[in-house]
Amino acid sequence: MRTEQLARVLENARELGVSDLIFAPGHPPLYKLGESVFSTDHWLLELRDLEALVNYFFPAGTMERLVAMARGRERPQEMMTAHSGTFSRYRVQLLWAQPNVSGSLGSLDREEVVAEPVLVFRLIDLEPKPFEVLGLPMALEEVVRKRMGLFLVVGPTDSGKTTTLAAMVERINAEQPRFVMTVEEPIEYVFAPKKAFVVQREVGRHVGEPATAVLTALRSNVSVLVMGEVRNPREIEATLLAAETGHLVLASLHAVSAVDAVERLVLALPPEKRELAFQVLSSVLLGVIAQRLVPVREGRKRVLAYELLLTTPEVRGALKEGNLAALEDLLREGRTPGLVSLERSLAELVRSGRVAFETARAYVHRDADFTALFRGRGG
């Protein structure tokens, strides 16, 4: 792939507002937006095009070494990196897959290789967007001013979790002279020096594992700790410890709802530690935002829908008792500021004309609640 071809594809991706680009032998460049994958090009990529891309974005010799592994019937290594372009940053994932029967392997015979490369580019803005542009609730303004506690940004893959975390860090960076440390895999947004001092650490490059990075942050006496993603019991315990010892902790987690996030955090721990985890959360949890990116009525863009669970006295009491059903009820009722169900958020988007009713309906947890809220009969 020539440089000018790559530049044109990247420019198309920005203009279309897609989230990802996929490059695979035997296919045209593919654009991904939400659940849809499509192409606007008619030329097909060959293996030599993938080789050129890998050699451009990864260390010299990477492709040759990995192809040699594939020829030797070894499992090639999957890799990830981040790259800054003129108008965007890109998270580049190199993975390996079964050779495409219709694809062209260029200079390699198909019998020689058991896997071929696929590159997935995640498009990232050069600078974080403000809350207002992203459609985030203004309650997050108060969260980023807190001196300590834990706030979770959750949702499935491609729901804007990293974008929201970056917006929160950038708000701190622009307004508060605080010591901020991020732990990411890889680093996606890069924060220019403003009022805050932001140290960004990449797992595998600057630190061995996230839990170790948390302990380093505590010893370094940071004010704000940002965890790109919390995945396992060690990381969960380290994150809770950081919040409990007087730090503001912003973290992301794969979860389908706010209550599911709390449940996942606790159930990931050994049974003997779960009661204590609920007690700690009742003291340190500031809130949870659970996100979805929903297609708008016209065009290819998407808009943010969210569930918001801020820690009110009622929420704190339910956490202390480990009563997840009570948390669900509080969200559904939505009678207290800071408690917004996904159904309520989606109903507002439909009423505003931005999202079609049936589109929104595909994202709800409780269809009856959504319909009632849309018709003005809910809380």
pLDDT tens figures, 245-276: 999 999 999 999 999 999 999 999 999 999 99
Q: Which residue has tokens 């390996």? A: 96
Res 106 pLDDT > 60: no
Give 61's Cβ-side CA count (13 Å radius): 1
State what percent of residues in the chain have pLDDT above 70: 91
Q: What is the pLDDT, as a whole number, of residue 72?
A: 64
Query: Do 79 and 94 form a contact (C-beta atoms < 8 A)?
Result: yes
106, amino acid identity: G
Which class is 3-125 in CATH? Answer: alpha beta
For CATH 3.40.50.300, the residue range(s) in the chain are 131-340
Q: What is the pLDDT, as a whole number, of residue 113?
A: 53
In degrees rounded to 5, what are phi and psi of residue 159?
A: -115, 5
Tens digits of residue pLDDT in 69-84: 766 656 666 777 877 7
18 vs 141: CA distance, rounded Å = 28
Q: Measuring CA to CA, which residue among 94, 156, 88, 157 is closest to residue 124?
A: 88
Res 103 pLDDT > 80: no
DSSP state of 207: B
Distances (CA, A) of 162 to 81, 168, 177, 326: 16, 10, 22, 29
> What average pLDDT does the chain have?
89
List beta partners, residue 84.
89
In degrees rounded to 5, what are phi and psi of residue 356?
A: -75, 150
Q: Place 104 in a pLDDT band, splitting at 50, 70 and 90.
A: very low
Q: Which has more pLDDT, 376 or 170?
A: 170
In b/e form, how buried is each residue of 319-336, taking b as 16+ CB within 10 angstroms? beebebebbbebbbebee
Among positive and negative, which fits the CA dihedral 56, 57, 61, 64? negative
Q: What is the pTM of this model?
A: 0.85
6, amino acid identity: L
- Greatest Cα pair distance, the chain, in angstroms, is 66
Q: Measuring CA to CA, which residue among 134, 129, 131, 133 is closest to residue 142?
A: 131
For CATH 3.30.450.90, the residue range(s) in the chain are 3-125
Q: Which residue has tokens 């992203």? A: 134
Q: What is the pLDDT, as a whole number, of residue 164?
A: 98
Q: Could you tell me the CATH superfamily of domain 131-340?
A: P-loop containing nucleotide triphosphate hydrolases (3.40.50.300)
The set of residues, in sequence order, having a beta carbon less than 8 Å from that of 362 and lying 6+ positions away, is none
Q: Which has more pLDDT, 136 or 378?
A: 136
253 vs 258: CA distance, rounded Å = 10
Tens digits of residue pLDDT in 302-360: 999 999 999 999 999 999 999 999 999 999 999 888 999 999 999 999 999 999 999 99
